[in-house]
Structure 1
């Protein structure tokens, strides 16, 4: 089994992003996922094949997010890479899937220490709450397990219905340049 979680992020508007800032995020996510996956595949093929890879992406590859052009591009590349690797390695019994996560508060996210902010953010999602880290783990474990033995080349979105919310009823849009924080604040 291989769980790819290569990634990094910090907010910067595209017009203010330097080439170094672009590369700092895209190289971690794209190169890290590619090189580790390729080495895993080489080793599994040499051992007679079989195995499962689960890649980490983000649901904002479809919706965008202010200040995240570098991260969204890198995570979109991982979704495409998942499909390509699944096709490349299917003959060797190596399944490759991806999890595209929504907001899962953690120690480095804007609202992780403030229970009230987390609750307000969660109320914006159709599910009524933000993601829980263990849920991300469960989905990833499922995709690597025999229960998903017929699944390869897929990206599973776990975002509490956020993609639906963005289409049905989004909060009022405030241009990133007019915000106190590029990523915004909880309503």
Structure 2
């Protein structure tokens, strides 16, 4: 009888210890985090440009629970992406060859540059294991984009400026330690005059405790 009682007490103690450890682990997943890394962006402009741009991203966020966080990030372009522009004079309301008609095709090489892009998101996290999780995020982004086209008529056309719209995507993260992880992201941007796809890899530092 005494042996059964001791066994029951030991089991109860082990259960309480496991519960405390789990609670401590959950607490360690909450709190602020920052990250920085590389982004590959593919822009598809409505007026006829498809260009890729490389950028550097900085991010900050706060994880409120094991399953939810809010975050914002900013990306700066580090180069211009080249593209082949193909439009027509009527859509652009521009007479490229000065013949008095607006029925000709406007084409030529172009460059797309990203000055910066900033966004805010809610992030929903699904733990897969102690070290690996996947997540989905949705929010809104604002970008400053500039495109320059050299037409066959010898003119220079400048498009772009400010653009904004909803953004959503998914990510996967692997924890090297409790405070350091590697995260890969995909984000789709629905801007007014251009859509974009972003693929990024960031090193993330967590300050939760």
Q: TM-score, normalised by structure 1?
A: 0.24
Give the structure, 1 or 2, with the largest relative contact order (CA under 8 Å, sep 6 or more). Answer: 1
Give the TM-score taking structure 2 as reference length. Answer: 0.23
Choose 1 or 2 for highest CA Rg.
2
Indicate the structure with greater strand content: 2
